[in-house]
Amino acid sequence: MSDHLGKLVLAATPMGQYDDASPRLRAALGSADIVAAEDTRRTRALAAGLGVGIAGKLISYYDQVEAARTPGLVEAIETGQTVLVVTDAGMPSVSDPGFRLVAACAEKDLPITCLPGPSAVTTALAVSGLPCERFCFDGFAPRKSGARRTWLAQLVAEPRTVVFFDSPHRLADTLADAAEVLGPDRRVAVCRELTKTYEEVRRGGLAEVARWAADGVKGEITVVLAPGDVVAPQAEDLVGRVQSLVDEGMRLKDACAQVATETGTSKRELYEAALDAR
């Protein structure tokens, strides 16, 4: 291993407008020893649009070759080279290539940095009009209806806003399934072609937006789903949890206090329910 380590640089790329590129991205494209790109043609076009010449070696780094090419990139970093990872749009590793290389470099304690910038996840969240304080990203919606309905069932009482990607060809089916599983009035925002010329954000209840999507949708799709209604558990449903703590040696009142704190349930009602169950 070289005494002078290189580094891994992840860089967010514009989703549609070259002007969204940061000065640091421009500099990195022109100075990195290796540019690992999800699509080399798009990266060449990006560099040309930014007026930057790629001085280093440009290689493809997409899903099907990611595992095979990661060891060579790690070796390059170990020998002092800077490896820049860019994807077609947005942030590497976020449902795009990059994670394997980050994990491999972290395992070897190699330098890793990130050039922040565009992300469809946070952009969609910001314009959705839905709560942004707490959210989760769930990747791509499952392709098949059965798996998709199982996934949606897990979101019935999800207390956070959920962001996910979907294919424009499957969006109508996803929204129709969601309206059935989650209810027709659950709020949703479908963001299409973010930052691009034909950017569109369709907001409304799931059933309403599903009807809109049924006519056909084109472009890159990011969906933002409102939090579910969290139903507070009843005291009777928590007696088993209380009893397990008692079986471990905790006093009944202390067990009820702990479970009440964990669940937001009344300590008095828990205590009474536990006594009734005996």
Give residue 172's Cα distance to chain centre.
21
Q: How many helices (H) and strands (E) does the chain have?
A: 11, 10
Fold for the domain defined by 7-118:
Cobalt-precorrin-4 Transmethylase; domain 1 (3.40.1010)
Q: What's the rounded Cα separation, in Å, for the pair 124 and 133?
A: 14
Domain boundaries, the chain: 7-118, 121-225, 235-276
Q: What is the pTM of this model?
A: 0.79
* CATH classification code of 121-225: 3.30.950.10
| Tens digit of pLDDT at every position of the chain (278 positions) | 555 789 999 999 999 999 999 999 999 999 999 999 999 999 999 999 999 999 999 999 999 999 999 999 999 999 999 999 999 999 999 889 999 999 999 999 999 999 999 999 999 999 999 999 999 999 999 999 889 999 998 898 899 999 999 999 999 999 999 999 999 999 999 999 999 999 999 999 999 999 999 999 999 999 999 999 766 667 888 898 899 899 999 999 999 998 887 766 789 999 999 999 88
The continuous run of DSSP H or E covering 152 comes out as: helix 145-153
Q: Give the list of residues 6+ apart from residue 91 with CB closer than 8 angstroms, or none.
A: 10, 12, 114, 117, 118, 119
SS3 8: strand
